[in-house]
Amino acid sequence: MRLTDKQQSHGVSHSRIDSDTAGQRLDNFLLNQFKGVPRSHVYQLIRSGQVRVNSGRVQPRYRLKDGDSVRIPPVRRRSVPAITDVGEGLAWLAERIIYEDDRLLVVDKPAGLAVHGGSGLDFGLIEGLRSLRPGLKTLELVHRLDRGTSGCIMVAKRRSALRRLHTLIRDGDIGKRYLALVKGQWQYGEIVIDTPLAAGRGSSPTKVRPDANGKPALSVFRLVNHYGNVASLIEIEIKTGRTHQIRVHAASSGHPIAGDDRYGDPSFNSQCITLGLKRMFLHAQLIEFVWPDSDEEFIVSAPLPMELKSTLDRLV
């Protein structure tokens, strides 16, 4: 079978893991190696045994160790298309970087941009950043945001920084605050929602539901402002990072997020459209933590996008 112009063929290779790569999950390591290959195919390669570590089969979640030898099979991959598909060049993306040092950068992600390619998307934020900074050996997402959510997202420039930040996340030591417009008049003041969450089986795309046997999920909701009986602006601080956590917790409280087409209220969403809202009203406003190696305080914030401010102005 002849390869098309958008595919490349690669022979078997072996990659020796060094101290800078150690600690990374196998699936994430391969996704970085196999640029242009769908995520589903990467997982199939692991599960079929075509990818091996030290000549043995391992699970996708296996964490690589210093000195491990990873067998990387030949693959057919699509070349990543020009990032100009979502804008004129990369100038727009460079302007979205709101903080950068030698360890990480923080991007004010626009709503509508996925954080990575896959699920029918050829590229996302991380692919764009790698194109923007081709000289960086390592550039990895520290965490994720839903495609419809805007705001602060961290990208590590070093494996050592990624490991430290992942440890902080696991220990609950990174503060992440969001702003959301929700349906109705919020009556609770400040409340903690700790409803466990589980992904629904057989749903595509995945829909998360409250489930007593699910994974722990904790969110703190605080009232910022009422807009009559129509809507309320809420600040949410998350202590865990489950998929769709804020959206499901908001909906379970009886106050779904404006513009949420998966967990929201269709009638409320239609009302918000008349106010000019064309996206989900969820914005990652602030990230804060203390670097464990230096006790240096880190805090960065992204202003509320103009399209969301305009919606609030129309509610007044």
Q: Could you give the 3-state DSSP secondary structure of residue 304? A: coil
Token pair in block for residue 252: 């379970």
Token pair in block for residue 187: 């009556």
Asked if residue 139 lies in contact with residue 129, where contact means CB atoms within 8 angstroms, the answer is: yes
Contacts 24+ apart (CB under 8 A), 239-242: 239/172, 240/172, 240/215, 240/216, 241/143, 241/144, 241/169, 241/176, 242/197, 242/208, 242/215, 242/217
Which one from 108, 146, 260, 265 is the annotated catalytic residue? Answer: 146
Strand partners, 109: 151
68 in active site: no
309 burial via Cβ count (<10 Å: 0-12, 13-18, 19+): exposed
> So which residues are the catalytic ones?
146
